[in-house]
Amino acid sequence: MEYTAEDEKLIESKWQDLIESCKKICKNEADWNFIKRAYFLAKEAHQGVRRRSGEPYLLHPIAVAKIVVDEIGLGVKSVVASLLHDVVEDTDYTVEDMEHIFGHKIATMVDGLTKMSGVFNTDTSRQAEYFRKVLLTLSDDVRVILIKIADRLHNMRTLGAMPQNKQVKITGETIYLFAPLAYRLGLHAIKTELEDLCMKYRFPKEYAEISQQINETSAARDEFIRKFNAPIIETLDRYGIKYEISGRVKSVYSIWTKMVRKNIPLSEIYDLFAIRIVFQPLEFPSEKTQCWQIYSSITDIYTPKPDRLRDWISMPKANGYEALHSTVMGPDGIWVEVQIRTQRMEDIAERGFAAHWKYKQSSITQDEDEFDKWLKMIRTALDSPSQNAIDFLDSFKLSLYTSEITVFTPKGEARHLPYGATALDLAYDVHTKIGNKAIGAKVNHKIVPVTTQLNSGDQVEIITAESAHPKPEWLEYVFTAKAKQAIKNHIKSEQEDNLQRGMDMLDARLAELNITPNNRVIRKLMEAYNSSNKDELYVNIGAGLVTLDNLDKIVKTNSKNKILKFWTLFIKDNDEEADEELDDSKKNPAKEQNNHSQLVIAECCHPLPGDNVIGFRDPITHQIIVHKATCDELNRLASQHGDCIVKEAIQWSQYKTQSSLATIEILGIDRMGVLVDLANVITNDFSINMRQINVQTHDGIFEGTLSLYVRDAESLNVILDRLRRVKGMESVKRTTN
């Protein structure tokens, strides 16, 4: 279909916008000609093609190029590669054509982007395997990854045109990999927007409600910020500092996750915004000294909260982030976070890798920083031949951690580790051989187990022994991708013999019983012997940890999976509205058999009737596992097996009433009669059966869990609201356990 005159006018408008943005990167006529050649080739290649939204396809590469130059700060070659990034994949042009027309570097970048596009159009573990291969571009040209993030950002901005199952797949990939990757590359603004867009499409109702509440309180918030800033502005002006001061509201996604995590309404979140001071430093003294001087001036005005000081200037984050954060007591008794940074620090915080590299190249020192170390670690992981694709993807996700601690070696060398890391993580961070031989540690000169969790500021010495070797249980005590990979590699090398022996033993025993080995038999054995995969089952058999004496009995037993008899699968078609008009008695409870699949409760999140749910078709069993829409495990699965997200909407049916078990966590102030009040609410007010109650008291505080049989999620929410009104109750929330 040819483009209309309106289409051509829109394309020309967007192209002129891009030209305006490129003025800051084009140094000469050759640069301009390079970009124009790429544009006109892309225009010819995509002529007449439209996106799912109906708009001309060419608008997409133009938009990606604009993000690359405006929001990431890359140069001419990156703009050219952005304009051409879909040409090889979607048209008759080849990588060889790109090299002939634009040179080797552009051809390499376009080739990397083309391979990366293939990652997210595949299914099962191939998706993870392709992603692993694509990350090899980190060792060649990080700009390929940055352009791909820009591509994902524009796709997320236009996600509304995609069907619901594709939205789940794309948002799952984005929240699981792209947002953390953007964070790790220092692209804070893009990371925040990706998270907000994921929430907007996955949880539109919650997104709209929070956005509306933020807008409704903006006037009062602006007045508070003006009042808070006034004495700070007066002080900074008196010292002659060139600065910008602003109040920034936290993202909708970060507010929502805090509401969910703490089970509190928006009105109870007091750190909705932060004050940011960005200043132009003088040549003398150092940037660090000037940041502390401004901090000192602010704490002369407002009292700081001692445990909320964050010094990321002395020790920057692994993604290069530098700033001084402090929380102070503002007017009306409200805590306010203040962020202090120079313009250089601001550029790196917002534009990440591109700004980081620009400032590094212009500085005198070329020392290896934390970002370089992270890249080196990823390259090492990519080179490992023994790690399968899914394990690699999970390990890579671990390397994108956001919360960090800093510990010190006996010689005073600082090491950055994820929050929750143990002495064993440090041992592997220093060297794989030290980790493999670790038997204990000295933390602050005190001998402790090697599995001890470390705190920021600890000085740690690893104790080793030649006879030591990694144990499978170590995997439960390490947090870093490097440690997990090293332990798995060592265990795998020891288990290969056991694996083959176990396969032979199982085949022989099944043959004796005239049982044909198949997926159904293996699944039953994995469930019976608590094995997470077939290899683990074979290894345990080969090592003698599992006996096959009761094999016949296990194979003939029914599966323990809980089939949902009260869910039905609606296929969205033109008759959907008519279906909705039918009363419950006329609806067909057997629609779940459409695809010869069973609907199974997800053990990770235990959805209740009425919860917003999404189906995931297991690539091995073909059962449809139903997860809560908020389930973190669903995001992980969507990022690895995106095409297994069920297209049809899964909806609760009313044709059969059945109670479901729900667990509630409670916390409050201990007093006489509190348990009686709780029991009265549950049994007298709601006439609900309690399966179990477990409450402990200490230091005037009670905490515990209640296990109740409830009809659906709505009923449970009513109970939670009533329990929160019990005198002394501080926290009441549903848990998945």
d(CA 216, CA 705): 37
CA-closest candidate to residue 273, choices 334, 231, 194, 324 = 334
Contact yes or no for 664/732 (Cβ under 8 A): yes
First-to-final CA distance of the chain: 55
pLDDT in the model for residue 42? 94
Domains annotated on the chain, with CATH: 5-161 (1.10.3210.10), 210-362 (3.30.460.10), 567-652 (no CATH), 660-735 (3.30.70.260)
C-alpha to C-alpha distance for 62 and 79, rounded to whole angstroms: 9
Do residues 34 and 19 lie in contact, with contact meaning Cβ atoms separated by under 8 Å?
Answer: no
> Dihedral of CA 278/188/304/211: which sign?
positive
**Burial class of residue 358 (count of CB atoms within 10 Å of its CB; 0-12, 13-18, 19+):** middle
| Residues ≥6 apart with Cβ < 8 Å to 335 | 270, 271, 305, 308, 327, 328, 329
pLDDT score of 206? 92
CA distances from 130 to 119, 123, 172, 402, 444 (A): 5, 10, 17, 25, 44
Low-confidence ranges of the chain (pLDDT < 50): 119-125, 139, 364-366, 386, 559-596, 655-657
Residue 312 has φ and ψ, to the nearest 5°, of -100, 20
**pLDDT at residue 138, rounded to an integer:** 54
Q: What confidence score (pLDDT) does residue 183 get? A: 82
Structure-derived torsion over alpha carbons of residues 480, 483, 489, 495, reported in degrees to the nearest 10: -100
The span from the CA of 660 to the CA of 31, in Å, is: 65
pLDDT of residue 68: 93
Q: Are strands 599-601 and 624-628 parallel, antiparallel or unpaired?
A: parallel
Distance CA 664, CA 686 (A): 15
Question: Apex CA 252: angle with CA 250 and CA 253, to 5°?
Answer: 105
Query: SS3 for 321-339, per residue?
Result: CCCEEEEEECHHHCEEEEE
Q: Say whether 90 is catalytic.
A: yes
Query: What's this model's pTM, rounded to 2 decimal places?
Result: 0.66
User: What's the pLDDT at 179?
Assistant: 87
Do residues 616 and 172 lie in contact, with contact meaning Cβ atoms separated by under 8 Å? Answer: no
Cα–Cα distance between 97 and 116 in angstroms, integer? Answer: 19
Place of tokens 């499978």: 472
- What is the pLDDT at residue 180? 82
Q: What sign does the CA torsion over 715, 716, 720, 723 have?
A: positive
Whole-angstrom distance, CA of residue 660 vs CA of residue 555: 29
- Which helix (H) or strand (E) segment is 167 a member of? helix 164-173
Query: Among 90, 579, 618, 703, which one carries the catalytic annotation?
Result: 90
Q: Give tens-digit pLDDT for 618-644.
A: 877 778 888 888 888 888 888 777 788
The predicted structure's pLDDT at residue 506: 87
Count CB neighbours of 349 within 10 A: 25
Residue 607 CB partners (closer than 8 Å, separation 6+): 601, 613, 626, 627, 628, 713
| Distance, CA of 145 to CA of 178 (rounded, Å) | 10
* 473 is an active site residue: no
| Residue 714, pLDDT score | 79
Options 89, 129, 404, 527, the catalytic residue: 89
Spatial CA neighbour of 360 closest among 342, 384, 344: 344
